[in-house]
A = this chain, B = another copy of it.
Amino acid sequence: MKPAICEQFGIDFPLFAFSHCRDVVAAVTNAGGFGVLGGTAYTPAQLDQELAWIDDQVGGKPYGVDLIVPATYEGKGEKLTADDLAGRIPQTARDYVAEVLAAHGIEVEQARMGGASLSGNTGRELLDVAMSHPIKLIANALGVPPDYMIEAGKRHGVPVAALVGAKEHAVKQVHAGVDVIVAQGTEAGGHCGEVTTMVLIPEVLEALAAIGSDIPVLAAGGIVTGRQMAAAVAMGAAGAWTGSVWLTTEEAETAPHTVQKFLAATSRDTIRSAGRTGKPARQLKSDWTDAWLPQEGGQKPLPLPLQSMIAEPVIRRIDVLAAQGHPGAQALATYFVGQGVGLMNKVKPAREVVREFIEDYLAAAERLTNSLPD
């Protein structure tokens, strides 16, 4: 008999793979796992094209889409244009960023700081595009999904997943109507809370049981091997939600110098910093993360989305220069990745990663069985 989560999603192995790269999504789905495309960076038209490509590749096998539609951020609920928001960025913050860059031999026009932002409208359009494809899961990566996402999920029969970093948030999500909880520990790449996966999984499961909910809880945060996934399932998780491990697959579009940084990094080369988006997110330590709290002497980041607006255009420029070998840019370059980066030591095809996960998972289960008294 298949585990319930495999029956529910029509998969062989409950390994969920979040990636911004459609090739990874298709490869994982085709290998018996469940690929999830991170869709936020796309325009609606681009997302449509990516999903059409995936549809062609997977031949009806299940995959999902992940969007970031945060519940609260600066300017939400007000009718604000991007310019209005940009106007809320203090001049001192622009000056500080210019100073950090100058110290690394980089100049970025201040006019370019203030570009990227998170727009509620785009989120809704991306959702509509996603729902026009045969997706089997829609996930919201930050905060409680807006009502229209929950409603669209119900209307299209697509389960809605939400990422949480604390048991209180899991309870709130269940009350809001989500179908799957992704409980993500502090070791995760990108936005994350303070609680570690080892504590969060049992804490969330206990909190959900206390309100009579038995919806599936996927474990996320630091999981880059089958033995860690087995650990999460032993604790009661239905499966694993992974992200970082796909960044060093052959299919990923990760820049070569970033791949090299990942392969060389240990778990301690990451830091939970709000220096990119205004909310704490784990990433590689660099001179950029050193420039912001909690690093000693660092500046306090602006709130979401103002910090993104100031940081992302600059970081895009840094990435371009770093790829060209600019030493200041290479010292500043950072990238969202979890502590599991310490266990990522080789570039492999995504299919191979799935295969190794399964083997390692089976070996871990055997190890635990062998530890039992006769």
| Interface of A toward B, CB cutoff 8 Å | 1-3, 12-13, 166-168, 185-187, 193-200, 202-203, 206, 221-223, 225, 227-228, 230-236, 266-268, 293-294, 296, 300, 338-340, 342-343, 362, 364-365, 367-374
Nearest neighbor of A365 in chain B, beta-carbon distance: B368
Q: How many Å lie between the Cα of A339 and that of B365 in the bound state?
A: 26
Cβ–Cβ contact B199 & A343, under 8 A = yes
* 12 chain-A/chain-B pairs, Cβ below 8 angstroms: A166-B266, A193-B268, A198-B228, A199-B222, A199-B338, A203-B343, A206-B343, A230-B231, A233-B367, A234-B364, A294-B294, A365-B371
Nearest neighbor of A300 in chain B, beta-carbon distance: B296
Q: Which of B203, B230, B339, B371 contacts A266 (CB 8 A)?
A: B203
Task: Name the distance in Å between A93's Cβ and chain B's nearest Cβ.
Answer: 17
Task: Name the distance in Å between A324's Cβ and chain B's nearest Cβ.
Answer: 32
The copy count of this chain in the complex is 2
Cβ–Cβ contact B339 & A1, under 8 A = no
Q: Which of B167, B186, B234, B266 contacts A365 (CB 8 A)?
A: B234
Q: How many Å lie between the Cα of A296 and that of B235 in the bound state?
A: 35
Cβ–Cβ contact A234 & B231, under 8 A = yes
Q: Which of B187, B230, B300, B368 contacts A196 (CB 8 A)?
A: B187
Q: How many Å lie between the Cα of A362 and that of B300 in the bound state?
A: 47
Known: A198-B198, A199-B267. 10 other contacts (CB 8 A): A1-B374, A2-B373, A12-B373, A167-B342, A185-B198, A198-B231, A203-B266, A233-B368, A234-B368, A365-B369
CB neighbours (8 Å) of A362 from chain B are 372
CB neighbours (8 Å) of A196 from chain B are 185-187, 196-198, 221-222, 339
Cβ–Cβ contact A227 & B223, under 8 A = no
Known: A233-B371, A364-B234, A373-B2. A199 touches B227 (CB 8 A): no
Q: How many Å lie between the Cα of A231 and that of B230 in the bound state?
A: 7
Q: How many Å lie between the Cα of A369 and that of B370 in the bound state?
A: 11
Cβ–Cβ contact B206 & A222, under 8 A = no
Q: How many Å lie between the Cα of A137 and that of B186 in the bound state?
A: 33
CB neighbours (8 Å) of A185 from chain B are 196, 198
Cβ–Cβ contact A340 & B296, under 8 A = no
Nearest neighbor of A200 in chain B, beta-carbon distance: B267
